[in-house]
Structures are given as C-alpha cells and as structure tokens.
Amino acid sequence: MSSPGPTATVVPKTDGTGMRGAGPDGEHRSRAAAVVRVRVDGMTSPRPAGPADSSPNRFAARAVDLGAVKEAADARDRAKEEAVSGAPVALAAPVTAESFEQDLVVRSTQVPVIVQLGSSRAPGSDEMSHAFASSALGQTEPASWVFRYVDVDTVPEIAQAFGVQSVPTVLALAAGRPLTSFEGVQPPEQTDRFISAVLQATAGKLPGLPSTGEPAGDEESPADPRFTEAAEALDREDYVGAVALYDAVIDDVGAPAEAVSEAKAARATAVLLGRSADGSADDIDRMLLEGRRREAFDVLIDRMRTSAGDEKDAARTRLLGLFSLYDPADPEVIDARTRMASALF
C-alpha cells in the first residue's frame, strides 16, 4: 500500500465502563465479542495499527460464533419480518446499545455492514467516518452495503464488548460473521478499495436489502429446529448432545447446503468446547477456540517440516481433520493445503 501507515488513538483501559479486550470468561460467548474476533492475514484483533488489507483472499473467518447458533436463526427470521414490512433502511447511521443487534447482526444477514468504532478525540476519525458515510449514501439503488458508526465515547459498552483497544477501528460483517478489519485512519482512496474488496468477497452470498414498499416473498426456508436444540444443549454444556444434533443435519441429504456448512462449523466448536471442558484440549484446540485458525495451521505445517515418521504423519492427519471442518474453497484452507503438500517432501 502506497499510502502512509494509519494512525490510531490508544484507548486507555478503565474499570466498569472502560474499554477492555474480551477476557477468557463468558464474554467470549456474547454475540458482540464473537463478532469482533476477526482475523486478518493470520492475526487476531486487536493488534497494533496496520494498513487496511483490501484483498478478499486475506479475509478469514474466526473459528465459530460460540454462543450464537440460535441467535443466527432468529436474526434471519427478523430480517424476513423487516422485508415483509417494506421499511426503508438507512445506508449510513449511528449505532446505539438498543439498535446494536438490528443494525449489525440482523442487517449483516442482508448486506455487508462496514462498522467504524471511533471518537472525535482521535485525529482523522471523523474525517474517515464521513468518507465511509458519503460512499454509502452515494450508492445507486439497490444499495449493496451499509455503513454504521459507533461513537465509543457515547456507547463505551459496545466498544468494551468488541474489545477495542484503539480508535478508529473498522470492521466488515456479513451473515453475522466477521470478514476483516483494520485499525487506524486510511485516506478515502484506501477506504474505497476496502469497500470494493468486501463487496467482491460477498458477491452473490447475501439476499440484499428489502425493497421499500414491496413486501418480499417467503422464499427462505424456516430455520432448522435442530440448530435451536443444539444451541440449548451447548447452554447446558451437553457437548455430546450438541455434536449429535449437528451430525444429524450434516447427514441429512435433504438439508440445504448452507445449513450443512453451518452445522459443520458449529460441530467443530462443540467438539472443541467438549475437549476444553474435560481438560483434554491441547494448544491447537485452544488456538481454534480463540479464532486463531491460521496460527493452528502454521504450527502443524511447521511440525511436519521439522519432524519425521509417526510424528510427521500425526501432524498431517491432524491437519486433514482441521481442513474437513471448513469450506474447501476457503482461500486460507487452500493456502494451508498447498503449504502442507510442500512440507510432505
């Protein structure tokens, strides 16, 4: 990137209402904490400020949204209800504690949502938010994305839930999941590249915003009740029961491909949570639970390069098992498979 490196204002940690990174407690199960656990080029945010990476091949999904399987289904239902109502959608708007779920979670099931967490105290933050808002409002119909702004001084609880440590921080969401993020200020030409890359990465994967005044049909299938049952099993810490329910979806020949993919990802989390609960989780498991998927791949590939015999074969087998949990077309999985092949010889 030819532009100078971005600037970011470090947000001091405080008590109660201050901003803190999500700790290893129940915050990891909250939707906001899950949404912000994004990865860019193998790094888990928050990290020191770095330039925005506009390449969709670098977009990486976190392990799994640990506590949100049922909520994801509920969000899809709410999006359908909104579509039927034909209510207009603001293309650029602030986020409040009350609108958080609707503006970020539900909206991202329709179109990509680009979110800036900023403050007027941070140099360049206001200018960058104005650039994003201008781009959003300048779209021709139908709009393909929306911009949302979180003022960390007004709603510090949202910033705390996101684990933000510097402002401005920008992230992109789609289908309730993170795509990528960056910290610091970027000029308009770079934010435009960021937007373009997000749209390229999500092209054809989301239904779009509802048409104003034109009730949408009911094309979407009802949410599979097995996801609700599995989420309830996870709440009870019945990980074996949750895995069985996800397996039922995966083995159902009539299940939609999207549901099968979601079940595979959720099953992986249930297995990892089970190992963590019974004390059998290893370093690789912990990396996956924390959303550090690329790091887990790297460790196993390095182990293959530096070992031989049974140890090398065990690392290869473990890698293949991890690959089966994700979409084979995922750029990060493809890259890891290529590097694994090189490490075999």
Domains of the chain listed by start with CATH number: 9-202 (3.40.30.10), 225-343 (no CATH)
CA nearest to 206, candidates 180, 177, 175, 233: 175
Read off the tokens for 225.
């009740």
Distance of CA 161 to the CA centre of its chain: 14
Is pTM, for the whole model, over 0.95? no
Residue 172 pairs in a beta bridge with 114, 180
Taking phi over 0 as left and psi of -120 to 50 as alpha, with beta for the rest, 226 belongs to alpha
CA nearest to 201, candidates 6, 59, 328, 23: 59
Pairing outcome for strands 169-174 and 113-118: antiparallel
**Angle formed by the axes of helices 239-251 and 257-277, to 10°?**
160
pLDDT at residue 215 in the model:
42
Per-residue b/e over 42-66, b at no fewer than 16 CB within 10 Å? ebbbbeebbbbbbebebbbbbbbbb
pLDDT at residue 221 in the model:
54
**Peptide bond before residue 178 is cis, with ω within 30 degrees of 0:** no
Residues 75, 61: Cα–Cα separation, whole Å: 19
Read off the tokens for 302.
């390095």
Q: Which residue has the tokens 């329709």?
A: 110
pLDDT in tens, the chain (345 residues): 444 444 455 444 333 333 333 333 343 334 343 333 333 233 233 333 344 444 333 333 333 343 444 454 454 455 455 444 445 788 888 888 888 888 888 888 889 999 999 998 899 998 999 889 888 888 887 899 999 999 998 888 888 877 778 899 998 988 877 788 889 999 989 999 999 999 998 888 888 887 654 444 444 556 788 999 998 888 888 999 999 999 999 888 888 877 887 888 788 778 888 888 888 878 888 887 777 888 999 999 999 999 999 999 999 999 988 887 776 777 788 888 889 988 887
Which H or E run contains 172?
A: strand 169-174
- 254-261 long-range contacts (CB < 8 A, ≥24 apart) are 255/224, 256/221, 259/224, 259/227, 261/327
Residues 187, 19: Cα–Cα separation, whole Å: 26
